[in-house]
A and B are shown apart, each in its own frame.
Chain A
Amino acid sequence: GAGVSQSPRYKVAKRGQDVALRCDPISGHVSLFWYQQALGQGPEFLTYFQNEAQLDKSGLPSDRFFAERPEGSVSTLKIQRTQQEDSAVYLCASSFWDPVTSTDTQYFGPGTRLTVL
């Protein structure tokens, strides 16, 4: 089946512009995560949804970052008034809980590379 998809793959924004990044998770996956990956670093957690509920947004770096998942499927990460330090790859992952193994494996999308000029 289809994996996690993200769009756009690349986004260039001028400082101060608003951007919206989309994530289409694997069908049926309850959990959805957003991560930010700076150049040369590992991904860092931003926020987590269970269905439409945003259960954890502790990783969002500022109130300019906003995420939603209104129908419990597609999610959008919005960044308002972008700054140069927002330049990074934004990764989306979805997962489901496997009661047999008591684990959940996160499946990642290809990411959106955001460059703020």
Chain B
Amino acid sequence: SQQGEEDPQALSIQEGENATMNCSYKTSINNLQWYRQNSGRGLVHLILIRSNEREKHSGRLRVTLDTSKKSSSLLITASRAADTASYFCATDAGFGQTGANNLFFGTGTRLTVIP
């Protein structure tokens, strides 16, 4: 079973508007990551937020993390048509010494930005 659940499942907005997607997860995490997937393409890493961080910015992206509520949000400001894609949150529980951990993905939010 998958670790996270994104909300909403689908979101449609006008170009220039902000888009907010939420993610909830079930177990303790080492970090949480957000990925974008365009139709027919692989996953592109957007941003990583550690479990001891509460907010992180990268360009037009803003991610928050609330470990007490086991939830995260991704905000995309001033959206563009090119932002149309599926967005997934992914968590890892941390395997320690190797540092390489398999990711648990949510079900994704399908974002459509209308020009």
Contact = CB atoms under 8 A, between A and B. Distances in A.
Interface of A: 4, 30-31, 33, 35, 40-45, 48, 50, 55-56, 59, 91, 93, 95, 97, 102-111
A103 B48 contact: yes
Contacts of B90: 42
B43 A95 contact: no
Nearest to A46: B102
A9 to B, nearest CB: 9
Closest 9 pairs between A and B when the two form their complex, measured CB to CB: A42-B105, A97-B99, A31-B100, A108-B42, A45-B102, A108-B43, A110-B42, A43-B105, A42-B88
B102 A56 contact: yes
B31 interface: yes
* Range for the number of chain B residues in contact with chain A: 20 to 34
Nearest to A94: B100
A55 B42 contact: no
Interface of A is mostly: strand
B107 A42 contact: yes
A102 B50 CA distance: 10
Given A31-B98, A41-B107, A91-B42, 9 more contacts: A42-B88, A43-B88, A44-B105, A50-B100, A56-B102, A91-B43, A103-B48, A105-B33, A108-B45
A49 B2 CA distance: 21
